[in-house]
Chain A
Amino acid sequence: GESVGLHLPTLSVQEGDNSIINCAYSNSASDYFIWYKQESGKGPQFIIDIRSNMDKRQGQRVTVLLNKTVKHLSLQIAATQPGDSAVYFCAENKNTDKLIFGTGTRLQVFP
């Protein structure tokens, strides 16, 4: 959803639990989607991507799910660790040169 003012949506999870971060995208014509992780003071780091001809893709401890019917994207992180604490952005690609970023979700992992 949209962030209000300076507040990022926040997901708090216990270490070892699974995390699910959600994202709604805007353009049904988008054909490429990416999840980025951004730690404090650093640039966004690529996590995983998926093309519109797929509905699921798995990486190491991460899974991205794409539901084109409702224009929804999710990132699942298995066995969440303290090092996973960061802001997570989804991004959609409408053409080959431009990414549209979502508002971001802060993931906090507590022991």
Chain B
Amino acid sequence: DTEVTQTPKHLVMGMTNKKSLKCEQHMGHRAMYWYKQKAKKPPELMFVYSYEKLSINESVPSRFSPECPNSSLLNLHLHALQPEDSALYLCASRAAYNEQFFGPGTRLTVL
């Protein structure tokens, strides 16, 4: 299995909802990432997990809460989001000193 999978593919939520994005990889990669991407912009790093521990938090608002239950799974819990949080959320994973592999993303719309 050489891919990163993300669910759901699309998500529409209200500002009072709580939802979660899920990411999975079975390549044995030790680092996993969350990115946010707005239209016509490059991906912006949000969080990095290394060996299941949070190693980088790019000053992301607390309404985004990451979780790494095990080495293959990465979640992003969403609560009280704002319309400007609407974006493509990308998960990626990486083996040591190699390229990051990206998932297909979750298209999030906040109403």
- Chain B residues within CB distance 8 Å of chain A: 4, 31, 39-43, 45, 48, 50, 55-56, 90, 92, 96-97, 99-105, 107
Residue pairs across A and B with CB atoms within 8 Å: the count is 50
A7-B40, A97-B48, A101-B43 given; A44·B99 CB < 8 A: no
B4 contact set on A, CB distance < 8 A: 43
* C-alpha gap A35/B41 in the complex (Å): 15
What is the chain A residue whose CB lies nearest that of B9?
Answer: A41
Any B CB within 8 A of the CB of A86: no
| Interface residues on chain A, size class | 20 to 34
Q: Is the CB of A98 within 8 A of B40?
A: no
Tell me which of B48, B96, B99, B107 contacts A46 (CB under 8 A). Answer: B99
Task: Pick 26 A–B contacts, CB within 8 A, sort by A.
Answer: A7-B40, A8-B40, A32-B97, A34-B99, A36-B102, A42-B105, A43-B4, A43-B90, A43-B103, A43-B104, A44-B90, A45-B102, A46-B99, A46-B101, A89-B42, A96-B96, A97-B31, A97-B48, A97-B50, A98-B45, A99-B45, A101-B42, A103-B42, A104-B40, A104-B41, A104-B42
